[in-house]
Amino acid sequence: MPAAVDADLPPGTRGPGGRIIGRQASGRQVSAADSGRLDGGMSPSLNRTVALMPVAVALNIALGTTVQQALRLPIYMDSLGTVLTGVLAGPVAGMVTGALTNLIWAYVLPAPLAAPTAGPFAVTAAVIGLLAGGWGRLGLFRSRPVRDLRSLGAALGAAVAVGVVVAYTFSRAYASPRAFATTTGFDVRAFASSEVAFAIVVTAFVALAAWALFVRRDAGAMLALVAGLATGLVAALVSAPIAAFVFGGVTGFGGDLVIAAFRAAGASLYQATLEQGLLSDPLDKMIVCLLAFLVLSSLPRRVVARFPNGERLIGSR
Amino acid sequence: MPAAEAPGRPLGGVVARWPSPATRLALAVSGAGLGLAWGGWVAIAVALGGAILALVAGRGRRLALAGLGLLPVALSSLALNALLPAGAEGVGTALDALARLLAVTLPMTLLFAATPLADLLADLEARGLDRRAVFVLGAALAAVPRAQERAREVVEAQRARGLDTEGTWPRRLRGLLPLVGPLVIGSLIEIEERALALEVRAFAAPGRRTPLRRFPEGPLQRPARWALAGLLTAGVAARVALRLAGLAPPAWLRPW
Amino acid sequence: MLVLDRVTYRYPGSGRWALPPTSLEVRAGQVVGVRGPNESGKTTLCLVASGLAPVAIGGELKGRALIDGRSTLELRTHELAQRCGLLFDNPSAQLTGLHRTVAEEVAFGPCNLGLPPGTVVERTEAALRLLGIEHLAHRDPARLSGGETQLVALAGLVALRPPYLALDEPVSRLDPERSAQVATAIERLAAAGVGVLVTEHDEELLARVCDLVLDLGGGG
């Protein structure tokens, strides 16, 4: 009569950190990578990505509609799913998720939900997903305690590096129209005129970084924040020509008054949109990336580990 | 919109759609692409063509709603460019941008208003699209109402626990994580089960899947698609070449 | 016969063995129940029986899991799907959401195998009939009750004609009336010659459908 047997666990098979030591004679070790090669067809990691992407797209849209309406904050959380997918499953998955979100939202969803203005910005969304894939590969969204001085150093170093790039970009963007078109160097006077915008972004960054380092005590959170800042910068740079080309230099999402102000000061089509974008996108993406980090660190380890990029996200928890 | 199925048999069958979904896709994409690249009369022609087709196909209302969705942007752009021109032609810039926007929006909206996504995916799969792409595209659309429902539930649940969604912005900001967190985490944890559910239905099997619906088409449609693809490629390449050479498009293509 | 011979399993990256060494057999037409407290490894047992652990999710398996004499380790996931199906406890996560009718949803499996259209239709109709849900064929899968969804998911598995099924807490999210529907379906499956492994808390279900009930992590 068959029975379920309750026996001692096999001795000596557990090593430090749970790694498997050797093979048992009666058993056969199959790792996730091996079974992928065993199968031929589709590897298991790939099917998680295939299952993830539709969920992430729907999440983007739900966050951008229902949650957006509930909180009414000027944050476009509709890139959170894209960032998560990029970080968990790589750049290509991130790009597809981003582009698909905007295309479905603009053209496929039925009338009350459809947002046709989102369509052209599918390019921006794809770039955000691509960058997130890069950040994930670099292991930026991993938890790193502040005590680890190397992590702290890396975080601060990254912040300084990105800060320099941001300052340069602001100086170029806020330069006089003539300077914007002709010079490529750091323009001190133009930088002075971008003071307000730059100050806003920097204040937000410092406040969130302080929270990350002193309240959360996680250098990984700060790195995620820096990644967000960089992502926001790139998003603004990508969106500005799209807005100029297809929307006549407005963005259609509010902030058009800000654009008007910049235009009144003499900025060109692309320049005014860029200046507005540089204000809103870095703030928005910093928060989204920080949220992505917090979400990832609350997920059970085993859930994260089984995604293609999962191993790089399991830090010291 | 009910699928065209033989009575009494809920599965499969031959569906008569003219032109076939794949051809519709080719038309929409090439129209949108050319209109976007060239602006001016090309964009206007594409937009008008889309509008007329929509009326003929009975989708006028849907397209009108899409147009309404673009109205705020259009007005904002016209006002801004007329009052604070950022270059030589204020209103001209706004109109050109609007034409491009319509040239992209109208054909794409019409495509999906007149063709169920499932039909388009079935046709593309029969022509060789990978089953994983078909799944991702189809499942993404289907997941949207579910995700919104879940979001509504999370919002209600958190409000009942005292989450403030009406107060000052710092308070609303603090509501971000309690709303976003459960929603996202719940969705991600389910992924494992969904991936396994696919395996258990032999999704990873090699070879081509059995098509349940077929969209027969006349002999002209396939060459027509190739022609459209060629036209799109040539058109975009020509425009890019002009741009790179610093030349403007010929005057007869530009109404403003 | 579905045979588990002193199987124990560990998830990838985990130090802990999620399943105590277990042995059991399921014959054609037999319903074997397994009960145990939460976290005792019931889900893992189903994953091992269906071969998904370790073939689809990796990890380490010790002992042998054999389906009609073949080790699950030798098979690919689509081959496993045709030998032992697996039903989860969350009804809605198992439907693809792609299909407008229940019939198309059930046909998903056979279509994935590339079977001829006639065979697909035949298997779909047979599966719906066996579970007594022909009346749902034209319905929208997204608008079904939990119990109906569970039956549709089950039909989707049955359409692949596996000789065995592993059901992981199939009624844990259902009310008593729906649970009874699932119980009836299990009886019909067993009568048709399918060997069924069921893990459950619900004593009523176990008492009603099982020929044999085992305890996981306890005595025999």
How does pLDDT run across B110-152, given as a tens digit for each residue? 999 999 999 999 999 999 999 999 999 999 999 999 999 999 9
Residue B14 sits at φ, ψ, to 5 deg, of -95, 130
Give percent of chain C with pLDDT exceeding 90.
69
C9: β partners: C61
Dist CA B193 CA C91 (whole Å):
11
Confidence band of A5 (pLDDT split at 50, 70, 90): very low
What pLDDT does A316 receive?
Answer: 54
Q: Do B73 and A247 touch (CB under 8 A)?
A: yes
Q: How many domains is chain C built from?
A: 1
CA atoms within 13 A on the CB side of A184: 0
The reply to whether C183 falls in a domain is: yes
Least confident range of A254-263, A266-275, B225-234, C189-198: A254-263
Residue B233, both tokens: 């490629």
The reply to whether A167 falls in a domain is: yes
Q: Are residues A262 and A192 in the same domain?
A: yes
Q: Out of A110, A138, A166, pick the residue that ends a domain.
A: A138
What pLDDT does A18 receive?
Answer: 30
Give the Cβ contact number of residue C143 at 10 Å: 8
Q: What is the pLDDT of residues C28-37, one digit of tens each?
A: 999 999 998 8
What pLDDT does C163 receive?
Answer: 97
Dist CA A38 CA C150 (whole Å):
31
Residue C17, both tokens: 């063995």
Q: How many domains is chain A built from?
A: 2
Confidence band of B168 (pLDDT split at 50, 70, 90): confident
What pLDDT does B1 receive?
Answer: 34
Interval B74-95 mean pLDDT: 77
Dist CA A1 CA C6 (whole Å):
14
The reply to whether A311 falls in a domain is: no
The reply to whether A163 falls in a domain is: yes
Average pLDDT, whole number, for chain A? 77
The SS3 of residue C210 is: coil
Q: CB of B47 within 8 Å of any CB in chain A?
A: no
Q: Out of A109, A138, A167, pick the residue that ends a domain.
A: A138
Helix (H) or strand (E) holding B93: helix B90-114
The SS3 of residue C137 is: coil
**Residues across chain A:** 317
Domain that holds residue C41: 2-215
Give percent of chain B with pLDDT exceeding 70.
94
Nearest CA among C59, C64, C75 for reference residue C7: C64
Q: Are residues A255 and A177 in the same domain?
A: yes
Residue C166 sits at φ, ψ, to 5 deg, of -115, 120
Q: Out of A138, A172, A201, pick the residue that ends a domain.
A: A138
Alpha helices in A138-218 (DSSP H): 149-173, 177-182, 188-193, 195-210
The reply to whether C184 falls in a domain is: yes
Rounded to two decimals, the pTM is 0.87
Q: Are residues A202 and A243 in the same domain?
A: yes
Q: Are residues A73 and A218 in the same domain?
A: no
Q: CB of C214 within 8 Å of any CB in chain A?
A: yes
What are the distances in angstroms from CA B249 to CA B93, B156, C75? 14, 55, 61
Q: Are residues A153 and A288 in the same domain?
A: yes
Residue C78 sits at φ, ψ, to 5 deg, of -75, -25
Contact A87, A133 (CB under 8 A): yes
Q: Are residues A88 and A196 in the same domain?
A: no
The reply to whether A316 falls in a domain is: no
Helix (H) or strand (E) holding A293: helix A269-298
Confidence band of A45 (pLDDT split at 50, 70, 90): low
Q: Do C104 and B11 touch (CB under 8 A)?
A: yes
Interval A165-175 mean pLDDT: 77
Query: Exposed (0-12), middle (13-18) or buried (19+): which is B98, by Cβ within 10 Å?
Result: buried
Q: Do A107 and B192 touch (CB under 8 A)?
A: no
What are the distances in angstroms from CA A252 to CA A236, A256, A263, C220? 14, 7, 16, 68
Q: Which one of B70, B71, B75, B76 would you mutate to disrupt binding with A, by most A Cβ within 10 Å of its Cβ?
A: B76
Q: Count of H helices and E strands in chain C? A: 8, 9
Residue A87, both tokens: 């970080």
Give percent of chain C with pLDDT exceeding 70.
98
Task: List chain C residues with CB under 8 Å of A301.
Answer: 13
CATH of the domain at C134: 3.40.50.300
Average pLDDT, whole number, for chain B? 87
Task: List chain B residues with CB under 8 Å of C114.
Answer: 205, 207-210
What pLDDT does A15 receive?
Answer: 32
CA distance C14 to chain A (A): 6
Determine the Cα angle at A269 with ends A266 and A273, to 5°: 100
User: In chain B, whose CA is at the least distance from the CA of A272?
Assistant: B86
SS3 letters across A223-276: HHHHHHHHHHHHHHHHHHHHHHHHHCCCCCCCCHHHHHHHHHCCCCHHHHHHHH
Q: CB of B191 within 8 Å of any CB in chain C?
A: no
Task: List chain C residues with CB under 8 Å of A313.
Answer: none
Residue with structure tokens 């999620």? C18
The reply to whether C173 falls in a domain is: yes
Nearest CA among B220, B251, B250, B222 for reference residue B238: B250
Give yes or no for residue C218 having a pLDDT over 90: no
Least confident range of A245-249, A252-256, B133-137, C88-92: A252-256
Interval B46-60 mean pLDDT: 92
Domain limits of chain B?
20-116+217-253, 130-199
The SS3 of residue C212 is: strand
Q: Are residues A176 and A268 in the same domain?
A: yes
Domain that holds residue A102: 43-138
Give yes or no for residue A133 having a pLDDT over 90: yes
DSSP string, B172-232: HHHTHHHHHHHHHHHHHHHHHHHHHHHHTTTTT-SSPPPPSEE----TTHHHHHHHHHHHH
Q: CB of C21 within 8 Å of any CB in chain A?
A: yes
CB neighbour list of residue C51: distance below 8 Å, 6 or more residues apart = C65, C67, C72, C73, C75, C77, C80, C83, C84
Contact C36, C215 (CB under 8 A): yes
C5: β partners: C64
Helix (H) or strand (E) holding C7: strand C2-10
The ipTM is: 0.92
Q: Are residues A116 and A182 in the same domain?
A: no
Give yes or no for residue C139 having a pLDDT over 80: yes
The reply to whether C137 falls in a domain is: yes
The reply to whether C220 falls in a domain is: no
Nearest to B193 among C81, C90, C101 (CB): C90
Amino acid code (one letter) for A143: S
Q: What is the pLDDT of residues B169-225, one digit of tens each?
A: 777 777 888 888 999 999 998 998 999 999 999 999 999 999 888 888 889 999 999
Interval A66-72 mean pLDDT: 81
The answer for C 178-197 residues in CB contact with B (under 8 A) is none
